[in-house]
Structure 1
């Protein structure tokens, strides 16, 4: 009736089972390797983007050369003109896209730059390290004018997220007449 298998037939069945297990393990290893390679590629892309954004925040800055205030009829500073240029190694910066944060003696505000000029032209983009731009802030429009002895901090944020702070210190006595400028 039933015939028992010989040793040679049993070895062949064990060999086929082992081969099936080996092929299954190789397939699992290939899938795992594919997932690891894909994950490594995604992480590398994210790291490159993060590095570029970080570099832009650090490198794309402005340098403030001068800050002068215009004296109004009350003997206070009503307008501030800041001369700026690109920081070392900086890419071009559009002064029309900057955000200005003002922290005065008694108030805090975001001030829009009224007049922005680059090298006397109407353009707002600093492209070269030799370009100079003037940012004019009208303090009376948003905040109290600066009085003699006042201190304020102007922080400029570029489109890339870099920030530049400039402290303004008004002398304790303003001896100038209306319309004259004084270095802050």
Structure 2
């Protein structure tokens, strides 16, 4: 019954060629899938890192609780004291690595942390330190003081006069917070004023 059927002689060669093409397509697809998986993993890692850094820039900041100016004998503010704490949701904040940008009536400058407030430095000190972690703000209850000397930052060596305005930007490793202040119109017979 099948004796009269003739099979093509090149049928086996076509099957092997198709198999080789199929295997090559599978290999290309596997390599492409590996590249896609690696790229997806890299992008996921970068996205997580960017998310953490962005969150840190929003939350890892100091909050200025109060700003007090010490009034000198010439009725000018001779020292500016900022009481700072951690902002809500902030991680640990190291004030030794922070900078303070001062934009006063006469000049602007960037101050780094030092032992004494002068023309290039601000001073930080402890008001309340629950776990003795100074200069790092760790707990929500911690309060540190940043002291700036405006007499060293003015052209004539005097402090801030009545009615003058100044801006302080506290820059931590995660980001900056800007505070604008103004000196009261009168400071006669006062030792300190709220700015």
**Alignment TM-score > 0.5, same fold:** yes
Whether the aligned pair in 1 keeps the contact of 2:128 and 2:141 (CA below 8 Å) is: no
User: How big is the shift at 1:106?
Assistant: 3.4
Distance 2:45 2:179 in 1: 36
1:24-43 paired onto structure 2 within 5 Å: 24-43=24-43
**Is the partner of 2:55 in helix, strand or coil?**
helix
The answer to whether the aligner puts 1:118 opposite 2:126 as a matched pair is: yes
The answer to whether the aligner puts 1:166 opposite 2:179 as a matched pair is: yes
User: How big is the shift at 1:120?
Assistant: 5.2
Correspondence for 1:55: 55
Whether the aligned pair in 2 keeps the contact of 1:60 and 1:90 (CA below 8 Å) is: yes
Q: Which runs of 5+ in 1 are unaligned?
A: 1-5
- Please identify runs of 4+ aligned residues in structure 1 that moved more than 4 A: none
Deviates more, 1:45-54 or 1:166-175: 166-175
Per-residue CA deviation, residues 8-32 of structure 1 (Å, 9 max, x unaligned), is: 3211111111111111111111111
Distance 1:89 1:71 in 2: 35
User: How big is the shift at 1:148?
Assistant: 0.8
Per-residue CA deviation, residues 33-56 of structure 1 (Å, 9 max, x unaligned), is: 111111111111111111111111
Number of matched residues?
176
* TM-score computed with the length of structure 2 as normaliser: 0.83
* TM-score computed with the length of structure 1 as normaliser: 0.88
Alpha-carbon RMSD:
1.8
User: How big is the shift at 1:75?
Assistant: 1.9
Correspondence for 2:149: 138
Distance 1:101 1:58 in 2: 19
Q: Which runs of 5+ in 2 are unaligned?
A: 1-5, 118-122
Distance 1:28 1:110 in 2: 57
